Each structure stands twice: as C-alpha cells, then as structure tokens.
Structure 1
C-alpha cells in the first residue's frame, strides 16, 4: 500500500511549529521597528569601535615613565595631571550611555 493511497500528500509532509510572532497588518510596523533597532545597534557598535581604537592609540603613545624619572614634585600631582587627559573620553562614553538609555 503506497502513501498516496492511504492519505493525502499534505498529511505526509512535515509541519512547522506555530510561528513565534504572527505577522498580519502590523508587519510593516514590526519590520520598521526592527530595522530601526538594528541601525541603533550598528551606530553604537561603530561608536564603540571608534572609541576603542582611540583608546588603544592613546595607550600606545602614553608613556609617563620619563616624566616620573625627571619629576621633582609630587607624583600624586603628576598622576592627576596625566589621568586628566582621559576626561574627554570618559565624557564621550557617558554621553553614549545616556543616549543608549534614552532609546
């Protein structure tokens, strides 16, 4: 007895599970929202990559050993001055985090 004789072909085909999300008339809104979220993720990724590259370059160039060796003043003051170079990067990161939390 062949499968075609016993039941329709459709019943022999595998069935898919119910979709997680039904796309009806709201499909355009859902797709638009997902695309906007993807653009935001890509923008944040690009910002992060730019900051990471900038930090790596600053780290590569930042050698305070000669300053420490020739310093006659307080090492604490020297460290405060040197760490202040990174304040603008900390502010950029804070702005990105504020923007991300508003999304």
Structure 2
C-alpha cells in the first residue's frame, strides 16, 4: 500500500507516539518495582519501639524518604499528555483512512 506524504506523516506520528507510550510503560514498571522494593525494606517498627520523641515527628521524617520519588508524577503526567496526543492522532488516522468503509467492505 503506497501512502502520500500527508498519510505517511500521520502514520509515522502515530507510530512514534505509540513507541513513546511503550517506553513510558517500561519506565512505569521500573518505578513500580522500585517503590515495592522501598516498601519491602521500610520497616519502622524498631524505630517506633525505641522512640522517645513524638510519633508525629517520626512519621513525618519517615514519610519524607518518599518525597524524592517525583519521577512517578512526571511519568503519569507524560502518559496523560501522550494519550491525549495519541487520541488526536488516531482521529486523524481514522479520518484519512476511512476505517468504517474499510470495515464494511471487508465484511
């Protein structure tokens, strides 16, 4: 099937966006594994048992360890933006290739 320049650009952009989504998905899996490992290793029970200060301060200090994980928010935001982009590109793809007529002729 040969494509004109506009069709090729739409298909290429959609493919590129889908590859980016796969990359973000792989990054997400790595972030998820990292969080699970941090959670598994994070046992504050000994600190609670020996703490002489305020539990509130202890909890605040322990929770601050997770503040550095801002990559998760960035990944989610990037996925949201990319999904909106893919939706728009898919609309363009559907309009150019008239998928409804293709489905009807195929049946």
Q: TM-score, normalised by structure 2?
A: 0.66
Q: Give the structure with the higher percent helix.
A: 2
How far apart, CA to CA, are the structure 1 residues paired with 2:3 and 2:35? Answer: 47
Q: 1:73 is matched with which residue? A: 53
The normalised TM-score by structure 1 is 0.68
- Structure with larger Rg: 1
Deviant stretches of 4+, over 3 Å: 97-103
1:93 to 41, 51, 72: 72
- Counterpart of 2:38 in structure 1 is 58
Q: How many residues align?
A: 80
Gap runs ≥5 in structure 2:
83-107
Gaps of 5+ in 1: 1-22
Structure having greater relative contact order (Cα 8 Å, sep ≥ 6): 2
